[in-house]
Chains A and B, each alone.
Chain A
Amino acid sequence: EDKVVQSPLSLVVHEGDTVTLNCSYEVTNFRSLLWYKQEKKAPTFLFMLTSSGIEKKSGRLSSILDKKELFSILNITATQTGDSAVYLCAVFGNEKLTFGTGTRLTIIP
């Protein structure tokens, strides 16, 4: 059975801190790993990773994939209150996405 595990489940930090969110997976026929930010109802797409060791960056967010060790991390530097959300990791394989339960990030002003 495909599995995606995220840690920590929740994280509370002060504005300006740097955070690292973790995602490990066991998925057959792996094709890619995706990170989403979920506020309110629908997740918004952040990154798609398919190759090991290549960092993807978007502003203060960055992510990298390790296909040998089967994990990915999402880094957020200089956090802001607007970063407060649930961050979802999902892995695409076997024609479907398997999601983790997410990391709830809370940024204290």
Chain B
Amino acid sequence: GAGVSQSPSNKVTEKGKDVELRCDPISGHTALYWYRQRLGQGLEFLIYFQGNSAPDKSGLPSDRFSAERTGESVSTLTIQRTQQEDSAVYLCASSLDGLETQYFGPGTRLLVL
């Protein structure tokens, strides 16, 4: 596709439920990043994929968060047993060969009630 796409664009869930967020990077981009942005705060790095492997998972806030990437394309970020503090916009970005210029998707706005 022309750009990074994410789905769903909005998600409202109840506390304790699991959610899965999807990211489709720009075709041919080998690097993929997940970020979280809470209301009024800066971007928070979550995880980085180079191909299908994740050399840096240091940003994942707890073991309720996991991410995978298959076929060097689509990535899913899963949050288990959601908590209200998980409410945020989750942004995905991709870059070519892990170069620094990252192109962001529109984000998924998650609201945990």
Contact = CB atoms under 8 A, between A and B. Distances in A.
Interface residues of B, number: 24
B48 A95 contact: yes
B90 to A, nearest CB: 10
B106 A96 contact: no
Given A41-B89, A41-B109, A97 B45 contact: yes
Contacts of B105: 42
Contacts of B21: none
A44 B104 CA distance: 7
B42 A100 contact: yes
B42 A101 contact: yes
A31 B100 contact: yes
A90 B104 CA distance: 13
B65 interface: no
B56 A34 contact: no
